[in-house]
Amino acid sequence: MTPPPALPVRVPLATDPLGIWGSLQAGRRNVLELIPEIATHAPILSGRTGKRWHMVMEPGALKRILRDRVADYPKSLVTKLILEPAIGDSLFVAEGASWMWQRRTAAPVFSHRNVAALAPVMTAAAERACARLDHSVGRAADLFDEMVTTTFEVISDVTFSGGGAFDRAAVHRAIEHYIAGTAKISVFDILGLPGWVPRPARLIAGGQMRAMKAMADAAIDRRRAEGGAPVPDLLDLLMAGHDPESGRQMTTGELRDNLLTFIVAGHETTALTLGWALYLCAFAPEVQTRARAEAQAVLGGRAATAEDMAALPYTRAIVEETLRLYPPAAFLSRTAQSDDALCGREVRRGDTVILPIYALHRHHALWRDPDAFDPTRFLDKRPERFSFLPFGDGPRICIGANFALQEAGIILATLLSRFRFAPVPGRAPKPVMILTLRPQGGVWLQVERA
């Protein structure tokens, strides 16, 4: 009998009821272990663990939550408790009028023209990554660590370009410390206690976050006093932006919270996408070979640019298939603000509504061979809109989605054109989600020149 084909690493989803204690343990170990295996087959699941919850995997119901009745399903209390100490009432966590004016102000910053204008920073970072990897040829290297370095260079250069007084290393350390130490589910979260009840672990990290914010405020005030950068960066564009309806502009605190949002989201999620993509390419040599041939034919030895992206469809498909299998934001939650019905199931005001993107992207009713790595599924046809949600959807779709896709494509094509990657036996990464879906243990790959 022919053995089934090998599949890339997968989260072991729950097969038995967890209860409150089991949910707390799973949530602190790996949030995705809260998802039942049956969620990859069912349209909706409901239950009670401290408070009522519903887990939604049906595209029509997801459209209702994310687009049609978005105001009735704001981000959950747990999400806000985790993120507000780091990024304040910025675009990612704000609701209602506060979110609306910030979105109107920031949207032009991420126009196609502005994103394309930032591409040379991405190309330069890809070149520096290649120079560093030249020193790893013939041995194993942690490609996730390398991608974190690369994408942090990009986001810091496009956010605070020329920011000599902005200690990028300190900001990076503060963000990493916050994510590792405080972005975990508390027993108080599981029990549904109100937000004014302190979560001790999240209080401990306050000092580093306050220092980071003070440093960002000083850099913003200095930019105001000295004028813009030679080539406008995200800070310049946001400072110049205004709400077209009210004319309101962002204060120093609002600029800082949104820039820190872009820094946290902009480097972490793209680094994860690239790390997982390189793991998958090493796992599937035939995919890597096809992508390399495409990249070498287009690039001819140089680093990729924004203008090359249209000629690299297979590279783009690898990025999208990576986002399907390992979406950085793999587990979202909302709190129902009014009574509703989803897939015929009663939803009451105050219920937690979970969007398990990890399960949605591996749902057997929506994807053929859902656990397999197959980039061609994104070449054959586009997936149903609300079955593929790496950046969310509706009015709150990720504002930096095009920026992230452009950056990932430029860096991935450049690396695959110059290097060959192979798995290191016994060092497969483990998908673990705390705030984002990370490869626990790193992405250790053997590096050779192409």
Q: Which two tokens stand for residue 205?
A: 């990290």
Say how far apart CA 201 and CA 3 lie, in whole Å.
46
Measured distance CA(152)–CA(264) in Å, rounded: 9
Residues 6+ away with beta carbon under 8 Å from 89: 98, 257
Give the contacts of 356 (CB within 8 A, at least 6 positions apart).
32, 35, 39, 55, 57, 330, 331
CA distance 405 to 270: 8
Inter-residue contact 316 to 304 (CB < 8 Å): no
Take residue 418 and report the two structure tokens written for it: 């110059």
Q: How far is CA 280 from the centre of its chain?
A: 17
Q: CA–CA separation, 370 vs 376, rounded Å?
A: 13
The three-point CA angle 404-158-326 to 5° equals 20
Residue 74's closest CA among 51, 95, 100, 90?
95
* Measured distance between the N- and C-terminal CA atoms of the chain, rounded to whole angstroms: 36
If DSSP codes are grouped into helix, strand and coil, which group holds residue 335?
strand
Binding region: 398
Could you give the angle at which helices 168-182 and 206-226 cross, rounded to 10 degrees?
150
Give the C-alpha separation, 184 to 433, whole Å.
Answer: 9
Q: Which residues are annotated as a binding site for heme?
A: 398
The tokens for 6 are 């090998």
CA distance linking residue 281 with residue 379, whole number of Å? 17
Rounded CA separation 53/65 (Å): 14
Helices (H), 192-251: 200-204, 206-226, 234-240
Give the DSSP per-residue string, 92-103.
Answer: TT--HHHHHHHH
Q: Assign 58 to helix, strand or coil.
A: coil
